[in-house]
Amino acid sequence: MSEHTHQPESGRARELPMARSMCWHCQSEMTGEYFCGRCVKVQPLSKELDYFTCLNLPRKLNLDEQALEETFYALSRSFHPDYYATKDEGEKAISLGNTALLNTAYRTLKDPVQRAEYLIRLEAGSAKDIRNSPPADLFDEILELQEDLDEFRSLSAGESDERRQELLEKLQADRRTLEARKAQMEDRLREQFSRWDALPTEAEGEATVRSQKDAVLAGMQEILSNRTYVKNIVNDLVAATSPTAEPGRSAWH
Amino acid sequence: MAYSEKVIDHYNNPRNMGSFKKEEDGVGTGIVGAPECGDVMKLQIKVENDTIVDAKFKTFGCGSAIASSSLATEWLKGKTVDQAGQIKNTEIVQELNLPPVKIHCSVLAEDAIKAALNDYKKKADTEGETAEAATPA
């Protein structure tokens, strides 16, 4: 285990990592680890367990990736269904449930974007609580680009080659511009990560800290939303303008 | 999870796809997006005498978002401006059998309708003419 410890914020109920405080098997008092101290049976992780606590990491965004990996592998070994093949049905089910939760937690925290989205959900209750004004300019830009894309897709190779080539060059240039913008957004997101991490985890001057936190969360939410729009149009541009692109739009996503 | 037949039908045969000129008299334009999935929806209405005589949409997103806006344009035609404001996303969910993960697509369509209606009203207020001539039948 790494030396990281999750610091619960005072004034809030400490989230218990385990589904219950008593061992499901021998009924003895649990001390908060994943196995009963007395009968050594595996214990079910609580469905309410947050992913940071699950992986023994502080609620920070620039996380220690090595610690994340190490904890993940250690816990995976503890919970892996292969080790429970000869155990009773109850333990098998717990092993499966814990492994599923652990995998989701790991996948979510490993990816910076998913990590930020998860933190926003966790801290703001629901990401929907933070509503940013819609980026009208970006929408107009996207719609215009989509018009060009539609026209480009409608021109089959062979006919109107000149217009097709002209559009292709324009769309490829647009794609480069947008990819650069997406990268800039990701830089700005990382800046917000550092701002978040610099905020005190302890509840010093609770109200001020909360409003600072909300401001960072809202800032991140805005970047993440705009990034999603840009990412989609970039994907469409890539799909349509790559040499191997199938004609027509990739439908279900 | 599979798309319902109605969603697939609207996706394959979208109704009223296209656009009007934004500046045109009686045209209201709503452009909205879903920050969670990045879908962008443009929905436009054309109003004459307080009645929506035509509606068009362009949606860049998943099948459910396309179907929701396609259905919305069908429902909008023939409705008065007030009636159009009553359309609820839950009706779209029901009609298209949208699964819980796709409910936000219907919300997007409702938002687009509202945005288009607001844009129409705002234009009518500033330009005067179209709204004043309107006398509901």
**In chain B, what residues touch A239 (CB-CB under 8 Å)?**
none
Q: What string of pLDDT tens digits covers the 253 residues of chain A?
A: 444 444 433 333 334 455 567 888 888 887 666 888 778 788 888 878 899 999 999 999 999 999 999 999 999 999 999 989 898 898 999 999 999 999 999 999 999 999 999 999 898 754 455 566 778 899 999 999 999 998 998 887 667 788 888 999 999 999 999 999 999 999 999 999 999 999 887 666 677 888 888 889 989 999 999 999 999 999 999 998 886 644 444 443 3
Residues across chain B: 137
- Answer for the pair B117, B45: CB distance below 8 angstroms, yes or no: yes
The CATH class, in words, for A1-110 is mainly alpha
Q: Does A68 touch chain B (CB under 8 A)?
A: no
Helix (H) or strand (E) holding B39: strand B39-48
List the alpha helices (DSSP H) in chain A. Answer: 51-54, 65-79, 89-110, 112-124, 136-154, 161-198, 206-241
B35–A132 CB contact, under 8 Å: yes
Assess whether pLDDT exceeds 70 at residue B77. yes
Helix (H) or strand (E) holding B130: helix B129-132
Q: B5-123: which CATH topology?
A: Sufe protein. Chain: A (3.90.1010)
Distance from CA of B9 to the nearest CA of A (A): 14
pTM attached to this predicted model? 0.78
Complex ipTM > 0.85? no
All structural domains of chain A with their residue ranges: 1-110, 131-241
**In chain B, what residues touch A135 (CB-CB under 8 Å)?**
33
B60–A231 CB contact, under 8 Å: no
